[in-house]
Structure 1
Amino acid sequence: MDSDSDALGITASWVQMESSTAFDYDKSNLLCERNAIFFSTISTTVLYSLVFLLSMVGNSLVLWILVKYENLESLTNIFILNLCLSDLMFSCLLPVLISAQWGWFLGDFFCKLHNLIFCISLYSSIFFLTIMTIHRYLSVVSPISTLGIYTLRHRVLVTTSVWAASILSSIPDAVFHKVIFLNCDYSERHAFLASVYQHNIFFLFSMGIILFCYVQILKTLFRSRSRQRHRTVRLIFTIVVTYFLSWAPYNLILFLKTGIIQQSCEGSQQLDIAMVICRNLAFSHCCFNPVLYVFVGVKFRKHLKCLLQQVWQCRKTTSPAPFSYSPGTFTYDGSSFY
């Protein structure tokens, strides 16, 4: 195992992809990668600790506001709630990633479980963002086609299907991970390559669907004067763009690390440093959405202000009643916290 894996021991599946694994050990890389190791160790500990705190607080506030103030009959609110759960799931793994820099001591079972949860959170985020965009596309471009999707049965079916697909997509990662020299790592190289290709395929396929949907949405909005439509689409568009800008550089460099392009020692070291930067940006995404809701979501800001006033007892406020919901009309988005 190369020096990056020995020094960091970061056990999540996508973190292990960054470094060489047990099947391509090369002692000649030791001195070449030493600077990248030091940079990675310091930045990982500091940044992940901060991201963990911000994400836990921010996403917990979003969940609290959704449950306390909003109408959960809104399919969009259901998507937002599940995105929060996915981000919280990812956030809970950050302390493990920090501690794993000094080796993995929890055994094979927790190694597999850790990577299973890690990948579930990644895939569920991609799937929910894609379906949220498709739902917005149907609501804007063809509102009549969404008349029958607001029942409890359909909300449960959509949510369950996304989580089931995320779990099934994550099982191979869990199966092919085990503890190797105090690192939770891939046991076979073909499993590592398959995991990288699978994630990139999902990522690119989702991006293609989202781009198509937003081109059609923008064409429709240019012919509409509805400010509500513009505000709703703006928030979802911001969430999606932030996600893809956070993860695209990481996925690109991860693909290059599969060995598709031969690198010199200096080039490999530069790629390692770039991987650390892009990985930290991608793993920080779990705390971005609550910030976006504050700056873009008008109703969310009002709810947050009301909640903080209640917590600090600045003044007595009563919880607002849920907004009326009328399936089949575009005004149903009044029930989501934009």
Structure 2
Amino acid sequence: MAYTWGSDTDYETTTFNYTDDLSDFSGHLCENDDNFNLVTLNHTVFYVLVFVFSLVGNNLVVWVLVRYESLESLTNIFILNLCLSDLLFSCLLPFLIAMHYYNWIFGEFLCKLYNLLFHISLYSSIIFLMVMTVQRYLSVVHPLSSLGSYSRRSRAGIITGIWVASILASVPDTIFHTVLSDKSCHYSELKWFLLSVYEHNFFFLFSMVIILFCYVQILRTLFRSPSKRRHRTVRLIFIIVMVYFLSWAPYNVIMFLITLIKLQLIQNCEVSKHIFYSFEICKEIAFSHCCFNPVLYVFVGIKFRRHLKMLCHRIWPWKWNLSPLPQSPGAFFYDEASFY
């Protein structure tokens, strides 16, 4: 499989897949065979590492939440589902590696299922982060509006609603993906690819505007509060959101530029090559996001580090001395339990 960017004759039939290599996306011939082997090897090693780290890290977070923490906390439930979303994405990486070597060999049904799960993971991650931010905004800026703890039914309704919304948003991408004659799993027509990119761009920008507004209001409130614990909670969610934004924002920009190439608004071969190289880098950064959050919990979450020490103490009791968790004075009236 060589990276050959399509000619005018196949411009309308060969389209680009979010999760496949950047081949045949130009409106003119632009050969790039020399770098295929290097790119394939790099992807293989990189995605294997991401797959392993994500499985280990996210399963560890799930274990800590279930074993040590209260799932009565809505924030903890959000974190748990965020881990499940990352694990879902991680399970798709072996298919991504296989596509680099064999193109799509798994048939029509798995082509659609693969893209369904990919987009469910994509949408659910950003929705959970957005709702987490809104919930933290309500607890900090409008604490009286969230004094009552959420009932089990309401928590289940919120989580179910997010997953259902993610599934519904992923249906169009699933329907319009098919296995083409060249054994690639792509959008059946160019217009569906363009629609998908613009939909993702809009949704990403909309969620970032909501998150930015919430954090501006949160920071204004925190400057007037002495609660260090509340500061830690907001800080962790803020870092999680920022890492997500920095991981996926370049990818969304590159995908928008690819639509310009598809529409032949960019026809320069050198520019197309630079976009290709940028895409490969941005894709690796974005797809590696599934293993970032556990690392953030280790460095920012005090209670999470404590739980990891307890685990290590059980395995190597002679190497770990456990000290009590620090207590923070001046807590807010509303401050739900979480593993921060």
| TM-score, structure 1 as length reference | 0.88
2:190 is equivalent to residue 189 of structure 1: yes
- What residue in structure 2 maps to residue 208 of structure 1? 209
User: 2:215 matched to 1:223?
Assistant: no
Please name the residue that 2:170 is paired with. Answer: 170
Instruction: Using CA pairs under 8 Å that are at least 6 residues apart, name the structure with larger relative contact order, 1 or 2.
Output: 1
Question: Corresponding residue for 2:302?
Answer: 298
Mapped to 1, the partners of 2:178 and 2:66 lie a distance apart of 39
- Map 1:94-113; keep pairs closer than 5 Å: 94-101=93-100, 102-113=102-113
- 1:269 maps to which residue? 273
**Further displaced range: 255-264 or 290-299:** 255-264
TM normalised by structure 2 equals: 0.88
The unaligned stretches of length 5 or more in structure 2 are 7-14, 325-331
Deviation of 1:35 after TM superposition, in Å, equals 4.0
Amino acid in structure 2 at the alignment position of 1:124: S
Could you list the per-position Cα deviations for residues 166-195 of structure 1 after superposition, in whole angstroms to 9, with x for gaps in the alignment?
000001111011111111111111110111
1:78 is matched with: 77
C-alpha separation in 2, matches of 1:242 and 1:281? 10
Equivalent-residue separation in structure 2 for 1:248 and 1:239 (angstroms): 14
Give the aligned length.
319
1:337 aligns with 2:330: no
Aligned residue in 2 for 1:122: 122
2:73·2:338 contact (CA, 8 Å) conserved in 1? Answer: yes
In terms of fraction of residues, the more helix-rich structure is: 1
1: CA distance between counterparts of 2:153 and 2:61?
Answer: 24
Instruction: After TM superposition, give the deviation of residue 36 of structure 1 in Å.
Output: 4.6
The structural deviation recorded for 1:149 is 5.2
Which amino acid is 1:170 matched to? S
Query: Given that residues 2 and 33 in structure 2 are in contact (C-alpha distance below 8 angstroms), is that contact kept between their aligned partners in structure 1?
Result: no
**Bigger mean CA offset, 302-311 vs 91-100:** 302-311
Q: CA deviation at 1:135?
A: 0.2
2:9 aligns to what?
Answer: none
Calculate percent identity across the aligned residue pairs.
57
Shift of 1:159: 0.2
Give the whole-Å Cα distance in 2 for the aligned partners of 1:316 and 1:133. Answer: 35
The more displaced of 96-105 and 284-293 is 96-105
In structure 1, runs of 5+ residues without a counterpart are 321-327
Worse-superposed segment, 142-151 or 285-294: 142-151
How far does residue 229 in structure 1 lie from its aligned partner after superposition?
1.1
Q: Which residue of 1 aligns with 2:235?
A: 234
SS in 2 for 1:330: coil
Distance 2:5 2:270 in 1: 18
3-state SS in 1 of match to 2:295: helix
Q: Which amino acid aligns with 1:160?
A: T
